Amino acid sequence: DTEVTQTPKHLVMGMTNKKSLKCEQHMGHRAMYWYKQKAKKPPELMFVYSYEKLSINESVPSRFSPECPNSSLLNLHLHALQPEDSALYLCASSQDRQSNYGYTFGSGTRLTVV
């Protein structure tokens, strides 16, 4: 299995809702990432997990809460989001921090906050 699977593919949520994005990989990768991408913009790093521990938090607002339950799963919990948080949320993984094979990205979750 050489894929990163993200669910759901699309999500519409109100500003008072709580929802979660899920990401799964079975490649044995030990580093996992959350990126946010707005239209016609580059992906922006949000969080990095290495060996299931949070390594980098790029000053992301607390309404985004990451979780890494095990080496194959990465979640992003969402609460009290704003319309400007609408974007494509991408999960990625790599073998480790010095990967020679780049990142493997999922297809993303298209999030719309209304």
Partner 1 sequence: SQKIEQNSEALNIQEGKTATLTCNYTNYSPAYLQWYRQDPGRGPVFLLLIRENEKEKRKERLKVTFDTTLKQSLFHITASQPADSATYLCALVHTGGFKTIFGAGTRLFVKA
We find the least distance from the C-beta atom of residue 23 to partner 1, in angstroms, to be 11
We find the least distance from the C-beta atom of residue 72 to partner 1, in angstroms, to be 18
- What tokens does 4 get? 């990163």
- CB nearer to partner 1: pick between 82 and 107: 107
Q: Is the dihedral of CA 84, 22, 77, 58 positive or negative?
A: negative
- CB nearer to partner 1: pick between 52 and 80: 52
We find the least distance from the C-beta atom of residue 77 to partner 1, in angstroms, to be 21
Residues 6 or more apart whose Cβ sits within 8 Å of residue 41: none
Provide the residue count of the chain.
114
Residues in contact with partner 1 by CB under 8 A are 4, 31, 40-45, 48, 50, 55-56, 88, 90, 92, 96-108, 110
In the chain, the amino acid numbered 65 is S
- CB nearer to partner 1: pick between 71 and 79: 71
Q: Give the Cβ contact number of residue 19 at 10 Å.
A: 17
